[in-house]
Amino acid sequence: MDGIIRVRIRLKKLGKTPPCPMTGLWRDRRGATAVEFALIAFPFFGLIMGCIELAIVLFAGVSLDLATAKVSRELRTGTSGKATTSAIFITKVCNEMAWIGSDCKSKLRVDVRTFTNFQMVSQAPDVIVDGKFVSMQYTVGGSSQIQLVRAYYPWPVFSPFLKPGLGSLSSGETVLSSIIVFKNEPF
């Protein structure tokens, strides 16, 4: 750093101005730089926007996982009781994800099922068929029963490059999902 300053001071004493790296760009009138930038700007900014959107989708998915796990804990320990409904469960999950907005309660879908053993969980029917939600249930199990809790949130995706990789509903939105399987505590 000291050497660069000394060279600039010597050039100033000799009456010469030190070369600036940016002056070459301003004097170049051929337009090659502008054309090259125009060719790569759209794909570059599209890639940047796609990365940002993917990060937001992943953040929303992790938020849904954490909220579903926290609210499902009440089912596991029996503190919610059998009096809980899917609307109450949805409200609690949406309260944990308040940053999503007011439409969370209308868009979030939950499916809670009870099983007698873990092998039967793999036979649970799909709740998304042909891009639409079907056969949602809300059945809270008793003491020491197996619970399957699935939460689904339709998320709009704007980048056309992300839609094929994320899958989508018939409305064009991708589905964020959280699936938790646990055995209720003896209560």
**What digits encode the pLDDT tens for the residues 140-154?**
988 889 999 999 999
Please check the confidence at residue 121 and state whether its pLDDT lies above 60: yes
Domain ranges of the chain: 31-183
**What digits encode the pLDDT tens for the residues 153-177?**
999 988 877 777 777 788 888 999 9
Strand order of the sheet with strand 109-115?
A: 109-115, 146-155, 174-183
**What digits encode the pLDDT tens for the residues 55-89?**
999 999 999 999 999 999 998 998 876 658 999 99
CA nearest 65: which of 187, 186, 180, 167? Answer: 180
Residues 6 or more apart whose Cβ sits within 8 Å of residue 87:
none
Contact indicator for 8, 18 with CB cutoff of 8 Å: yes
Instruction: Report the alpha-carbon distance of residue 76 to residue 112 in Å, rounded.
Output: 12
DSSP letters spanning 121-180: GGGPPPSEETTEE----B----TT-EEEEEEEEEE----TTTHHHH---TTS-EEEEEEE
Q: Which two tokens stand for residue 14?
A: 């000799």
